[in-house]
Amino acid sequence: MDTIRLAIVGYGKIARDQHHPAIDANPAYRLSAVASRNAAVPGVAHFETLEALLKEGPTVDAVALCTPAGVRTAQARLAMSHGKHVMLEKPPGATLAEIETLREDAARSGVTLFASWHSRHAHCVAPARRWLSTRKIQRVDIVWKEDVREWHPGQAWIWQPGGMGVFDPGINALSIATAILPRPFHLIDAQLQVPGNCQTPIAASLDFVDGLKVPIHAEFDFRQVGTPPIWEIHVETDDGRLTLEAGGSRMRVDGELREEGPDAEYAGLYERFAGLIGRGQSDVDVSPFRHVADALMLGYRHPVDDFTE
């Protein structure tokens, strides 16, 4: 395929801040259309809905779905039924079961389906995976804390069923952990703090173990007010302590800086998407989403003060 003619569906904050710049910077793509009820891009064909784009718009080869998870599956099925490759923002859907439907649709339609996890493309994730592959892991601690008012302003959907609450950023940490740790792990305990006026947690404390009973603990919190966010993973091994900082863009071993890189996660996503399209493959890994589903199913819910923006 020559240049991939791409449409963005849902032009909100994440599309504006991350997807659009990554597309513009990659010569494999041309942004041919946007489908969004509330935003348009100068010089780019605009439609209020994906249906209108597919019926009336310019020909596109692929779509990037940046809409809320609750509507994404129907949009993905529609796009694939028209022969379009599909990138799904995280999480890939509202439920695990519907992702299996999408996987079947992609295979039947002969198109690429990409369930994207942008944090896996942070600069130091691959180096961390390589470093850990030759060491014996003894313990893992994940700390992912940020101010919801800064990172999700006015996004009331995040507190509704399917919005995931603090797991919206927490799933980023889980996407890194499932990428760098050498063995699968599973949840054994989850404590969730849920505001009285919300359906999803504002904080969570999780305990996992892997097949060798290595303990993995995670603390997620949306109430990191007045201080910088903390996005860190600490791994104790028989040969030192590895730390990923700044969401995976900085790596230390026993406190010594080993590697640091720019924020190019979405550039990595679009490079991956183009490669999958070129090879006629799909990538639909739901392991981070599965851990969130387990936490929401097994978690003990503790009521806390109502949340106000």
What six digits make up the tokens of 77? 């099925």
The reply to whether 90 belongs to the active site is yes
Given the residues 13, 90, 136, 213, the one annotated as active site: 90
| Cα 115 from Cα 89, distance rounded (Å) | 7
Residue ranges of domains in the chain: 4-115, 119-265+293-304
The SS3 assignment for 209 reads strand
Enumerate helices (H) and strands (E) in the chain, giving the number of each.
Answer: 10, 15
Asked whether the predicted pLDDT for residue 68 surpasses 90, the reply is: no
- Segment 212-222 shows an average pLDDT of 98
Q: What pTM was computed for the model?
A: 0.94
Asked whether the predicted pLDDT for residue 34 surpasses 70, the reply is: yes
The H or E element spanning position 103 is helix 96-109
Within 13 Å and on the Cβ side, how many CA atoms surround 40? 7
The SS3 assignment for 79 reads helix
CATH topology of domain 4-115: Rossmann fold (3.40.50)
152 or 294, higher pLDDT: 294
Taking only the tens place, the pLDDT of each residue in 114-134 is: 999 999 999 999 999 999 999
Same fold, 4-115 and 119-265+293-304: no
Can you give the pLDDT at residue 1? Answer: 62
Give residues with Cβ within 8 angstroms of 98, minimum separation 6: 73
Can you give the pLDDT at residue 309? Answer: 87
- Segment 34-41 shows an average pLDDT of 92
119-265+293-304 CATH choice from 3.90.550.10, 3.30.360.10, 3.30.1490.20, 3.30.470.10: 3.30.360.10
